[in-house]
Structure 1
Amino acid sequence: MNKIIYTLLVFIPISIASSLLSWGEATTFITAALAIVPLAALMGLATEEIAVVVGPNLGGLLNATFGNATELIIAFVALRGGLIEVVKATITGSIISNLLLVLGFSMLLGGLRFKEQEFQPTAARLNASTMNLAVIALLVPTAVEYTSSGIEESTLQNLSVAVAVILIAVYGLTLLFSMKTHTYLYDVGVADLEENDQGEAIESHEKPNITLWIIVLLAVTLLVALESEFLVDTLEVATSSLGLTSLFTGVILIPIIGNAAEHATAVTVAMKNKMDLSVAVSVGSSLQIALFVAPVLVIAGWLMGQPMDLDFNPFELVAVIVAVWVANSVSSDGKSNWLEGGLLLATYLVLGLAFFFHPVVVGLG
């Protein structure tokens, strides 16, 4: 799977050439999107290699911080360009895609190979409770806006910043809980991460060259930032020429682009009957988006003078609530099968069609 993903690196020079030689916004948008996929995979690999050297605690924090770095960079570039509604759509879309698309494919394909798969139910219930809190935090500013007459934008942003601080604090508590006080609940097996694509154990007596991987991580981060600029700069014209709304692009396409490497990892380990790791990747990524990425973007918008807040499109919130509810209902018992995976995918397809036909085109500044 990784070999296929890394072949997409060829689109880095193609996207640069398309931008410099003006091959058209649609061409630049598509090639930049394809180029981001292998870069996200490389960023994840570099983070994991550095984590091996620095130890489990700092390594876990590093993995948690860089877990959704690609989406954060794309959203930050869009935020700087004033594409506030696109940023919000990307946030909600990332939560939805991880809970429904990634977890759905993992349960479906894993369930087709193994009749029933099991994972840690206690951790699943804790994740569900935390995600419910995140949903409440996303709902409150929107509810305030829709139940108030003439509320000022600055007031809504101040409320959002306050809520963002609370969410980041909760994120810190979840890291402390999962990496320090209750690590046994999240123990997906170190050996699971030390296997190649054929499922064969790899002996790793030598520690990775941390200097090399830090250089790789920095270089990849810069390239992701560059490709994100291409992606965001051409988004308006490209999506229009492709017959897509910016709402659909933000909620469906951009999260798939940014999460492609994680999607592949979650599905691959599920097909090896390691649902604990698969659930940790998919659900953990959604939690990180809601508790870390979204609050950071709100605070960044506040500091940059951009009106970024947690007042979301009501339909996006409905989609998030549906995704959280369905994902929690199928994962609460700590068991999964192919039918439950199919139900998650069917829910994602229904929501995807709704976003595709939704007449609202979010503002592009």
Structure 2
Amino acid sequence: MQIRNLIFFGLLVFVPISIAARFLGWGDLVVFVTAALAILPLAGWMGQATEEIAVVLGPSWGGLLNATFGNATELIIALVALNEGLVNVVKASLTGSIIGNLLLVMGLSMLLGGLKFKEQEFQPILARVNASSMNLAVIAILLPTLLGITSPTIEETVLQRLSDWVAIVLILVYGLTLLFSMKTHAYLYDAGVADLGLSDLEDKDAAHLQASTEAGHEGHSAEHKPKLTLWVSVLLGATLLVAVESELLVVTLESATSQLGLTEFFTGVILLPIIGNAAEHATAVTVAMKNKMDLSVSVAVGSSLQIALFVAPVLVLAGWLLDQPMDLNFGPFEMVAVAVSVLIANSISGDGRSNWLEGALLLAAYLVLGLAFYFIPVTEALA
């Protein structure tokens, strides 16, 4: 059994502990911390189950499944928070997810991979395609914010309607990116890993990641046919438990963050994205240290794209269904932070090469932004 799976099994003990802490009245801080720790392995099992099922379903359905459930944990947490009326926390978590994937995850991957290998390469054409998609997504998401800043007298209902239409456009663009990556230009995404045989992969988890990245090559599917019923049960069970733990996390968020001396805004930008994406982050760093930088960059940038093109629009439409005022009108500082993160990430990844210094620069940028989010007053951040 892999070390990662052993850790996942060990952390599962926090599932009953968090539930017991809630019902036995151990305090909001204990519930918050144990629920956060419980979500970490559940997110990992959801990711592994998705990859296993994708191997069985084949290229088209498998790729669609991975694309849909790639950020399922974070989406569930955000939906629970949105249902509780924590709209600003949800917006902050979207901002933090984009920033975290582009700066923290890619930075750690380049740093640790660069310490082991002097220089690593990945396909520059994919970097350019991802950069173009990311630029479009950021412009579309931040457009309502810019409109609100430049037209102070505009009504909230107008911004809400604009956000609804922008959300629909972004979902359509997301569908086009799936068509591009899985059908018309799938060879671009296969080229970076097509020459890697299973013997080159050092563990089972990396093999599954390769399978999902390649949208399920037939040869791999023939050699590895996981039990579909078993992994579907794991996926459903983990999803249900994530929903339960997310509820515990959200209802204790305000009290727990106050006891920790943190603002809800900082928690949404920094803590919640790390909790929801920890397993995916670990995967990106692991494959980078195995000199599979194509896969690592795909995980980091792909996750940011999914947040911007799929998760954010879904939450806007969900806000309409839940009667919560969820729009794309972010705070000015959030807008600047996302734009800066995309600019830095694109400038560093554009040449298709990376080293440890570039990773350190990305991490430094994330640290500086994190400090700013920590010290900035919430009223100013959301003004």
- TM-score tier, shorter chain, comes to over 0.9
Matched with 2:211 is: none
Q: Distance in 2 between matches of 1:87 and 1:65?
A: 19
Counterpart selection for 1:261 from 266, 279, 286:
279
When residues 199 and 32 of structure 1 are mapped into structure 2, their CA distance, relative to the original with a 3 A threshold, is: closer
Alignment length (residue pairs):
364
Matched with 1:50 is: 53
Q: Deviations over 1:48-96 (max 9, x none)?
A: 1110111011100000000000000000000011100000000010000
Matched with 1:182 is: 185
Matched with 2:217 is: none
Q: Does 1:290 align with 2:293?
A: no
Q: Deviations over 1:31-63 (max 9, x none)?
A: 000110110000000001110111011100000
Q: CA deviation at 1:198?
A: 8.8
Q: Distance in 2 between matches of 1:219 and 1:239?
A: 29
Q: Distance in 1 between matches of 2:41 and 2:152?
A: 47
Q: CA deviation at 1:196?
A: 4.5
**What RMSD, in angstroms, separates the aligned Cα atoms of the two structures?**
2.0
Q: CA deviation at 1:189?
A: 2.5
Matched with 1:142 is: 145
Contact 1:199 1:272 in 2 (8 A): no
Q: Does 1:19 align with 2:37?
A: no
Q: CA deviation at 1:212?
A: 1.0
Matched with 2:169 is: 166
Matched with 1:117 is: 120
Q: Distance in 2 between matches of 1:184 and 1:170?
A: 20
Residue 376 of structure 2 aligns with an amino acid whose one-letter code is H
Q: Output the TM-score relative to the length of structure 2.
A: 0.91
Q: CA deviation at 1:172?
A: 0.4
Q: Does 1:305 align with 2:308?
A: no
Matched with 1:320 is: 338
Q: Deviations over 1:131-157 (max 9, x none)?
A: 011111122101111122332222111
Q: Does 1:88 align with 2:106?
A: no
Q: CA deviation at 1:158?
A: 0.6
Q: Secondary structure at the match of 2:13?
A: helix
Contact 1:51 1:59 in 2 (8 A): yes
Structure 1 unmatched runs, 5+ = none
Q: Deviations over 1:107-148 (max 9, x none)?
A: 000000000000010000110011011111122101111122
Which stretch shows the higher mean deviation, 200-209 or 76-85? 200-209
Which stretch shows the higher mean deviation, 337-346 or 352-361? 352-361
When residues 290 and 201 of structure 1 are mapped into structure 2, their CA distance, relative to the original with a 3 A threshold, is: closer
Q: Percent identity?
A: 71
Contact 1:153 1:307 in 2 (8 A): no
Matched with 2:131 is: 128
Contact 1:247 1:361 in 2 (8 A): no
Q: Does 1:153 align with 2:171?
A: no
Structure 2 unmatched runs, 5+ = 209-219
Q: Distance in 1 between matches of 2:381 and 2:368?
A: 24
Counterpart selection for 2:11 from 8, 17, 35:
8
Q: Distance in 1 between matches of 2:356 and 2:121?
A: 12
Q: Output the TM-score relative to the length of structure 1.
A: 0.96
